[in-house]
Amino acid sequence: DAGITQSPRHKVTETGTPVTLRCHQTENHRYMYWYRQDPGHGLRLIHYSYGVKDTDKGEVSDGYSVSRSKTEDFLLTLESATSSQTSVYFCAIRQGAKNIQYFGAGTRLSVL
C-alpha cells in the first residue's frame, strides 16, 4: 500500500459542517494527490502537493482546500460540506522513475 494511511475511512456529516480528511505517508514521497471518485466520472484530481507548503489545484478544486505542513501529511478540507461532495476520496503518492501513483484505501464521505 506504499505506506499510505487515510483517515477516517468512513464519515457521515451534515451539510454546512467543516470536514478534514487526512492522508499520511511514511516513505518521504515528495508528490501527494487528492482525488474523488464518483460513478460515471472515474477519478478526478482535486489538489496536489509537490512539497511542504507547495500545493496546486486540480480539475475539481472548488469547495476544497489543502495543507501540507510536513512531508508525511496532506490534509484535505471541505470548509462547508455540501451534498455534492458526497464521494469516495483517494489519496495517492508518486513513486519511482516511472512516476506511478499508488493509492490509499480511500475515505467514504456522506454529506446529508
Partner 1 sequence: ELKVEQNPLFLSMQEGKNYTIYCNYSTTSDRLYWYRQDPGKSLESLFVLLSNGAVKQEGRLMASLDTKARLSTLHITAAVHDLSATYFCAVNTGTASKLTFGTGTRLQVTL
Query: Considering only CA atoms, which of 1, 12, 16 is closest in space to residue 82?
Result: 16
Beta strands 100-103; 87-95: pairing state: antiparallel
Residues in the chain: 112
Q: Is 28 in the site for partner 1 (CB under 8 A)?
A: no
Per CB under 8 A, the list member of 22, 24, 31, 63 interacting with partner 1 is 31
**C-alpha–C-alpha distance, residues 78 and 103, integer Å:** 20
Q: Is 53 in the site for partner 1 (CB under 8 A)?
A: no
**C-alpha–C-alpha distance, residues 77 and 95, integer Å:** 24
- Choose the binding region for partner 1 from 9-17, 38-46, 62-70, 72-80 (rule: CB under 8 A): 38-46
Per CB under 8 A, the list member of 19, 23, 25, 48 interacting with partner 1 is 48
Sites of contact with partner 1 (CB under 8 A): 1, 31, 33, 40-45, 48, 50, 56, 58-59, 90, 94, 98-106
